[in-house]
């Protein structure tokens, strides 16, 4: 990686003309796209959060470019991806109009909404999954039976911006009048010490080997990772179902443009180009409206004063 790329590692963006998608997809019959003069045109920018911006841009860029192809009536002819490491950085970009759409987990998106950076727009069926639950678990032989038993214990989370592996289960703990602390600081009888493990696989192994009293992750992920060891695991708390991934729009995105974006996203599973883009976007099966009850479930999430 050259020096310029390294210097942009915290907030990396990339602009690619519309015709770049045609090269990516190698579809015949569309080779005349992208010939429009670039004067008085603008970009459509999708944002997300990641510690690995290069790979995230490669993942999101085909979708941004696909959308741009269908929005030429709004003088849009480029797709752009902007990645930051924190919600606060991304919120600033959306408030400044530098990011139009934000795609991430519903909990991460909720945090963005509460920062005043966007409004809920559509649900994304990432890997064909519409919604999920987070679980808090321990070993089968543990005396822990319910979430209140975590007081005075140590729990492992994946990483600070993981929804299923931190934000959602941490909210569940706070909503049960427990206090999350870090670095083995137990301040009173209602404190729960927390550690970041870096990966769900580590969380599971550390619980099984006694390095942690409990762990947290998405329920379907625990079942997959534990495999035949699932009988050695005991789930002591399960969250409500919430949308897996969603999309936000920036607050001042014009309504006609929002409507056009929504139409393009909700019908992309019906054409061959859209199907290929969806498959490459972590096997997304579709975009659809966010159910009202899902918004209600999200409204109970508690990020705490520190987050």
Which numeric CATH code is attached to 134-239? 3.40.190.10
pLDDT (tens digit per residue) in 168-189: 999 999 999 999 988 666 666 7
Mean pLDDT (the chain, rounded): 87
Of 34, 128, 39, the closest CA to residue 77 belongs to 34
Q: Give yes or no for a contact between 270 and 248, defined as CB atoms under 8 angstroms apart.
A: no
Position 22 confidence tier, pLDDT thresholds 50, 70, 90: very low
User: What is the side-by-side order of every strand in the sheet holding 119-124?
Assistant: 12-17, 76-84, 42-49, 101-105, 245-249, 119-124, 287-288
Q: Would the pLDDT of 210 be above 90?
A: yes
Q: Which CATH number fits domain 3-129+243-298: 3.40.50.2000, 2.60.40.10, 3.40.190.10, 3.30.465.10?
A: 3.40.190.10
Position 23 confidence tier, pLDDT thresholds 50, 70, 90: very low
Dist. CA 250–CA 67, nearest whole Å? 16
Transcribe 129-142 into DSSP letters.
B-EE-EEEEEETT-
Share in percent of the chain as helix, strand, coil (round to 5): 40, 25, 35
Dist. CA 189–CA 181, nearest whole Å? 12
Q: Which of 15-24, 27-36, 39-48 has the lowest mean pLDDT?
A: 27-36
Q: Which of 22-31, 56-65, 95-104, 214-223 has the lowest mean pLDDT?
A: 22-31
Of 115, 108, 127, the closest CA to residue 167 belongs to 108
Dist. CA 277–CA 263, nearest whole Å? 16
For 237, residues 6+ apart whose C-beta sits below 8 A from its C-beta are 135, 136, 146, 147, 169, 172
The domain segmentation of the chain, as residue ranges, is: 3-129+243-298, 134-239
Task: Give the phi and the psi of residue 239 in degrees, each rounded to 5.
Answer: -80, 170
* Per-residue pLDDT, 35: 42
pLDDT (tens digit per residue) in 224-264: 999 999 999 999 999 988 999 999 999 999 999 999 999 99
* Per-residue pLDDT, 187: 61
Mean pLDDT score, 16-28 = 46
pLDDT (tens digit per residue) in 142-170: 999 999 999 999 999 999 878 899 989 99
- Look at residue 210 and give its three-state secondary structure: coil
Q: Would the pLDDT of 266 be above 80?
A: yes
Fold match flag (3-129+243-298 vs 134-239):
yes
What is the pTM for the complete model shown?
0.76
Position 59 confidence tier, pLDDT thresholds 50, 70, 90: very high
Look at 57 and 190; give whichever has higher pLDDT: 57
H-assigned helices in the chain: 3-7, 19-25, 53-69, 87-95, 106-114, 168-174, 200-208, 219-226, 255-267, 272-280, 292-298
């Amino acid at each position: 990686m050259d020096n310029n790329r390294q210097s942009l590692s915290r907030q990396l963006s990339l602009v690619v003309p519309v015709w770049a998608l045609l090269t990516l997809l190698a579809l015949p019959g569309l080779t005349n796209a992208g010939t429009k003069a670039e004067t008085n045109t603008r970009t459509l920018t999708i944002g997300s959060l990641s510690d690995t911006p290069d790979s995230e841009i490669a993942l999101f860029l085909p979708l941004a470019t696909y959308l741009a192809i269908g929005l030429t009536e709004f003088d849009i002819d480029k797709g752009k991806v902007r990645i930051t490491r924190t919600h606060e950085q991304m919120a600033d970009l959306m408030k400044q109009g530098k990011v139009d759409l934000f795609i991430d987990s519903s909990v991460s998106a909720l945090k963005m909404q509460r920062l005043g950076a966007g409004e809920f727009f559509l649900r994304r069926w990432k890997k064909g999954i519409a919604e999920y639950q987070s679980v808090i678990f321990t070993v089968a032989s543990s005396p822990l039976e319910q979430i209140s038993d975590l007081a005075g214990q140590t729990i492992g989370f994946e990483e600070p911006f993981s929804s299923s592996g931190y934000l959602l289960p941490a909210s569940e703990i706070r909503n049960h009048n427990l206090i999350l602390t870090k670095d083995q600081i137990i301040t009173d009888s209602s404190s729960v010490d927390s550690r970041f493990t870096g990966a769900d696989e580590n969380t599971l192994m550390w619980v099984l080997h006694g390095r942690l009293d409990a762990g947290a992750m998405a329920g379907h992920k625990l079942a997959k990772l534990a495999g035949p060891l699932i009988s050695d695991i005991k789930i002591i708390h399960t969250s409500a179902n919430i949308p897996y991934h969603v999309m936000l729009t920036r607050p001042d995105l014009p309504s006609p443009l929002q409507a056009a974006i929504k139409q393009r996203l909700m019908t992309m599973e019906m054409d061959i180009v859209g199907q290929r883009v969806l498959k490459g976007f972590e096997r997304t099966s579709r975009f659809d409206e966010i159910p009202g009850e899902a918004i209600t479930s999200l409204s109970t999430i508690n990020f705490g004063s520190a987050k």
